[in-house]
Structure 1
Amino acid sequence: MTGFVVAVCAAFGLVIGSFLNVVIWRVPRGESVVRPPSACPGCGAPVRPRDNVPVLSWILLRGRCRDCGEPISARYPVVEALTGLLFAATAWFFGPSWDLPAHLYLVAIGVALAYIDIDVHRLPDAITLPSYPVVLALLAVAAAGTGDWSSYLRAVVCGALLWAFYLLLVLVYPRGMGLGDVKLAGVLGMYLGWAGWGAFAVGTFGAFLVGGVFSLGLLATRRAGRKTGIPFGPWMLIGAALGIVVGEPLWRGYLDLTLGA
């Protein structure tokens, strides 16, 4: 059963990845993700349905527009393949569970937000703000299906806590991060809270750890200076992923080591 779910989610992820390419390009520019249909940026020719098959079409077209031969960025199949792989990994980790849809949604917005933040150093409200009611609804369905309303309450509390923590950081040091990070923090806090208090602690700390290590690496290799702006959204997402996947066992191990619990 799990194998079937993984396969279905992988295929679904490829399709979602194709849509995310549209989101990544259009949302920062304030454009509709529905209209007009996708077209070649070089000649304006609409993309044919047969040329819109995730990954495969790009390979068959050798990375060029069928009409004008304009190169098509390799990012398109990369985003599609990455989303498919992450959907498959998420389905494998959670299995056919009530909270699987919620975590697939996190993967989808995570891919889009990470790429957008790298491109334009922004986390658009058009993605983060609607995610609050969506995540609350999806986790409510999971809580109703499992009867675990305590985890749902913890998710709401942790979402508020992480939102407040990031807001405090912005108020204390405005140049360190932006309000987009604050809005994303509330969403990630709900997922971490759903996973547990240990996941919340590890996910919160993990974002600053991996982000700090990456920044030090850039400084050491002189690819960035002290005043270089480095998007923090991707590290928040990676930290949250670490918290969800390994946060609880890591936190228990830490408590056993320090407190002998």
Structure 2
Amino acid sequence: MFGLSIGSFINVIIYRLPRSLSIIYPSSTCPSCGARIKFYDNIPILSYVILVGKCRECGSRISPLYPIVEFLTGVLLYLLFLKYFYYSYFLLHINEFNIGYFRDYIWGQLNYFFTFAFFIIIIISIAFIDLFHRIIPDILNILLIVSGFVANIFLLHKPIMFSLYGFIIPGLFFYFIAFFYETVKKKEGLGGGDIKLIAGIGSYLGLIGAIFTIFVGSIFALVGFMLFFVFQKLTNAKTVSYDFKIPFGPFLSLAAVYYIFYGHSLIKIYINFIKLY
């Protein structure tokens, strides 16, 4: 329920931030008629189902993006809870001798949960804004970078170099790629928003996490490009274009979230595979 409610607020960010509107005031309104949405019509997912995806006042269709974002946020935060607390609550045997250890362990896990929950909230906002508007607002990238340093230093107690390496090296790598592409092709390849995004992801996940994100995000982007091309060809073969652009932000965001849940396991499998040969 916490995740669904946060997802509802993320919808506000996705809609208002690209339009330079306040995310705090006024309260939620219908995009079509401007009518204020009552609190009982603003319950995540449930209100959309009850209203059959329409505004109560004017009957205009409400985008299914709203319940999708709410559901996605709820699921990801629930999975994050399972990642950091399932073992704690169901598998540890607690007694009077290890209660102190358990308390410290829970606080440590709580810090990890809040760190990556905040990361997921920002990254979902970035992904959907970039997907539909082809921009990544600087305020979100700056928030991502700053919170990455703060969380790693003060909550996870990691050395500042962990975030610093993750911030500088991938950011410079993307910058030089963008510079080289623009110099050779005379047009933009990677936008400034993508450069700041990978720097922000690196400030949270460190250098290894950022490298993983770049590699896996590129694979996701290639698959997305091919699927879009096939879809374009199937729908209208006469207008197939090899020069269409797809935003990179959503694929980097997807890869970064994938790293949080499975990155360390996949890296261990890769290292063990390398050792065999």
What is the aligned counterpart of 2:14 among 4, 21, 24?
A: 24
Separation in 1, partners of 2:257, 2:53: 32
Alignment-derived partner of residue 3 in structure 1? none
Alignment-derived partner of residue 243 in structure 2? 227
What is the aligned counterpart of 1:34 among 10, 24, 31?
A: 24
TM-superposed deviation, 1:90: 1.5
User: Which deviates the most, 21-30 or 95-104?
Assistant: 95-104
Q: Figure out how many residues of one structure are paired with residues of the other and give that number.
A: 243
Question: Could you say what secondary structure the match of 2:29 adopts?
Answer: coil
Separation in 1, partners of 2:4, 2:259: 25
Question: Could you say what secondary structure the match of 2:156 adopts?
Answer: helix
**1:133 aligned onto 2:143:** no
1:60-209 matches, within 5 Å, as: 60-95=50-85, 97=109, 98-144=111-157, 149-150=158-159, 152-174=160-182, 175-193=188-206, 197=208, 199-209=209-219
TM (normalized to structure 2)? 0.81
The answer (yes or no) to whether the contact 2:194–2:248 under 8 Å persists in 1 is yes
Select the structure of larger CA radius of gyration. Answer: 2
Separation in 1, partners of 2:153, 2:168: 16
Alignment-derived partner of residue 210 in structure 1? 220
TM-superposed deviation, 1:180: 0.2
Separation in 1, partners of 2:215, 2:64: 33
The answer (yes or no) to whether the contact 2:4–2:71 under 8 Å persists in 1 is yes
RMSD, matched Cα: 2.0
The answer (yes or no) to whether the contact 2:148–2:163 under 8 Å persists in 1 is no
Change beyond 3 A, Cα 1:46–1:176: same
Change beyond 3 A, Cα 1:201–1:68: closer
Question: Could you say what secondary structure the match of 2:54 adopts?
Answer: coil
The answer (yes or no) to whether the contact 2:7–2:71 under 8 Å persists in 1 is yes
Separation in 1, partners of 2:264, 2:49: 41
The answer (yes or no) to whether the contact 1:28–1:124 under 8 Å persists in 2 is yes
Unaligned runs of 5+ in 2: 86-105, 183-187, 234-239
What is the identity, as a one-letter code, of the residue corresponding to 1:161? I
TM (normalized to structure 1)? 0.85
Separation in 2, partners of 1:155, 1:182: 16
What is the identity, as a one-letter code, of the residue corresponding to 2:143? P
The answer (yes or no) to whether the contact 2:213–2:255 under 8 Å persists in 1 is yes
TM-superposed deviation, 1:155: 2.6
Alignment-derived partner of residue 267 in structure 2? 251
Separation in 1, partners of 2:259, 2:31: 39
Alignment-derived partner of residue 99 in structure 2? none
Question: Could you say what secondary structure the match of 1:67 adopts?
Answer: coil
> Identity percentage over the alignment?
30
